[in-house]
Structure 1
Amino acid sequence: MDDESSLQFGIEIELLLGSRKKAHPNWKSLAKDVSKRLFKAGIANHINDNNDKSADNYREWSIIQEVTIPSQPGKNLWGLELVSPVYHIQSYWAADLTTIFNTLHPSFNLVPSPHCSTHVHISGTPIPLDTAALAALAKCALYYEPALDLLVPPGRRGSTAYWCQSNRSSPALHPLTSTLDCLSLLDDAEATGSVRPVVEAMNLFPAASAYGRAHGKHKDFIRGKVYKWDFTGMLAGSRGTVEFRQPSGSVSGEEAAAWVTLAAAFVAGAMAVGPSLGGDVGEHGATAEELWAILVSGGEMLGWEGLGGVEGLFERAG
């Protein structure tokens, strides 16, 4: 990363929750309750009924209905997503996460669910990530995938989860027989000087898939929201972010902060490691020790003295 450049991020926290004291008749009633309590705790927020993605909705926390989480009205449980404003990585963002969960837990049951996940969007600031940076990150996402898999539940590894499939499943990468071939393809994509070939390599989706057939697709198309790493936000006219979609659901501020720290440190570390990643890579991908090393390096580049809760992720992975 350039000495003048740093990172900013946004986090999306999916929750299955219900009031401890009040039976809410519908999702909107629950959302109003959550919004009111967060506002009283000093967290500026609003309910985003239509999941509007305009810039104004990222100036403060927003609450949206998460349709991929099956609500259970009979158990007074509803699927909800908290979407953060844009935070600079050097700001006191972790304090907000702590406040949010400390506010929710006394009044709501937060139920761990395999349907919930945590997504982290990363972008460069004030200098956006360029094609070289994007290719470096893509190469590291592929090489370090086996080690990252160890930090998440089994249902969010490999291609077992529909909404966070391996990027190796992309039709551009799937036919390639080795990791080295995949990295070489990304080097070629970078050499074009355009972001789009990198995005296509990581986020193509098959026209022959059920989704493709249902939408009348006749050739493979870009669809990032089903992969562990979504690069589609880097296309022209998009938000300029890369989304790390693999983390599991968070039910505490510490968990959410750990995923932010992991994502940001990985992106920063990839800027240094990714460009030279190539001929001597092992075919089985990076070890946990190699992943820790790139995270420590990335944290140092961001000016951090440690990696906070990330160490706990490694300890739970054994």
Structure 2
Amino acid sequence: MLVSALHQQRPCDYTHKLHASLSTKMADQNSFQFGVEIELLMGSRKKTHSNWKSLAKDLSKRLLKAGISNHINESNDKSQDNYREWSITQEITIPSQPAKSLFGLELVSPIYSIYASWATDLETIFTVLHGSFTLHPSPHCSTHVHISGTPHPLSPSELAALAKSALYYEPALDALVPSARRGAAYWCQSNRSNPSLTGLDLATCLDALDTAGGGSVRHVVEAMNLFPANSAYGHAHGRQRDFVRGKVYKWDFTGMMSSGRGTVEFRQAPGCVCAEDAVGWATLAVAFVVGAMAVGPQLGGVGVGEGASAEELWALLAGGAEVLGWESLGAAEGLFGRVG
């Protein structure tokens, strides 16, 4: 299997260089934190629910009984108080099936430290889900991971390093997800399809991001998340010029702008119906961001081709995990095990 071959790559030189590049940063910035959003199409095994809120109340009660503090966020309020514990919101992008008592819900985590017991929480949540509810795989479901630096936000140059890595490693990440999450879906487009980068080869894209990283956070955000004014959405909202819109791309950097939450969002992961996958995608996203801090600045020039291989992605993640003090990539290894 591919995962066995990847273990044999022994990226020792890579991880040593990664440590050297990140040691100063980690001492200054301390750490990273993250949150995960899990979209589900679900119903109850024992009860008939006529609407999403009835189902949400049932779920909330059972999670509380299992020791998971949570609340129902009916208005999908994004204020900080809603990230102190798990919250349950309606997910309108998932078509509900009222006749079958199936509804789209999103479970939104609190803000976790990378060293907290978040994996145990996810295992508890999915134990509750499988014990009392039915989970239905759907191409409309996805899993999103928000990552931020703490106590300091990522700088423009760090953000550019992550952006460059997102583009360079895109082919390898594509290989880990279902075909619908490789850029065809409206809500998961390649960042290279945005007006700032469309039509450019990879090397030119990376050069453009280097230039953006020498400016402001907004320059990097516009390079990754610009959306065309001549799109249907642009016309409907009276846009005269291309504008920033992150929720349609694999990576959403708009949270780094002054009105945002200071996070970068990895949006490409598919919906998860088991704890192992949810833990795996969260692990992958955080390790990727940490690894990108060192690798990103070095990407560019000749030899980038059309992007990274699975082996290169594995090395990046393994290096990031080692810097974080994680013994392994854990559940993320299972994501690689499905390739090929």
* TM-score bucket (shorter structure): over 0.9
* Matched residue, 1:173: 197
1:280 positional shift: 3.3
- The alignment-based identity, stated in percent, is 69
TM-score, with structure 1 as normaliser: 0.98
| Residue from 154, 170, 185 that aligns with 1:129 | 154
* Pairs within 5 Å for 1:38-117: 38-117=63-142
Deviations, residues 45-69 of structure 1 (Å, cap 9, x unaligned): 0000100000000000000000000
Establish whether residue 301 from structure 1 lines up as the match of residue 326 from structure 2.
no
* Matched residue, 1:313: 335
1:220 positional shift: 0.3
For the aligned residue pairs, the C-alpha RMSD in angstroms reads 0.8
Paired AA for residue 126 in structure 2: F
**How far apart are the structure 1 equivalents of 2:90 and 2:73?**
8
**How far apart are the structure 2 equivalents of 1:252 and 1:156?**
18
Paired AA for residue 87 in structure 1: Y
**How far apart are the structure 2 equivalents of 1:75 and 1:188?**
52
**How far apart are the structure 1 equivalents of 2:131 and 2:331?**
23
**How far apart are the structure 1 equivalents of 2:327 and 2:138?**
33
**How far apart are the structure 2 equivalents of 1:142 and 1:3?**
24
**How far apart are the structure 1 equivalents of 2:144 and 2:205?**
25
* Pairs within 5 Å for 1:239-258: 239-258=261-280
1:311 positional shift: 1.1
- Conserved 8 A contact 2:158-2:213: no
Paired AA for residue 235 in structure 1: M
Establish whether residue 195 from structure 1 lines up as the match of residue 205 from structure 2.
no
1:227 positional shift: 0.1
Deviations, residues 175-205 of structure 1 (Å, cap 9, x unaligned): 32x111000001111112x100000000000
**How far apart are the structure 2 equivalents of 1:294 and 1:3?**
17
* Matched residue, 1:223: 245
Deviations, residues 21-70 of structure 1 (Å, cap 9, x unaligned): 11101111100000000000000000001000000000000000000000
Paired AA for residue 164 in structure 2: K
Segments of structure 2 that go 5 or more residues without pairing to the other structure are 1-21
SS at match of 1:225: coil
1:283 positional shift: 1.9
Establish whether residue 269 from structure 1 lines up as the match of residue 291 from structure 2.
yes
Q: Size of the alignment, in residue pairs?
A: 315
Paired AA for residue 309 in structure 1: A
* Matched residue, 1:16: 41
1:213 positional shift: 0.6
Deviations, residues 141-164 of structure 1 (Å, cap 9, x unaligned): 00000000000000000x301101
SS at match of 2:273: coil
TM-score, with structure 2 as normaliser: 0.91
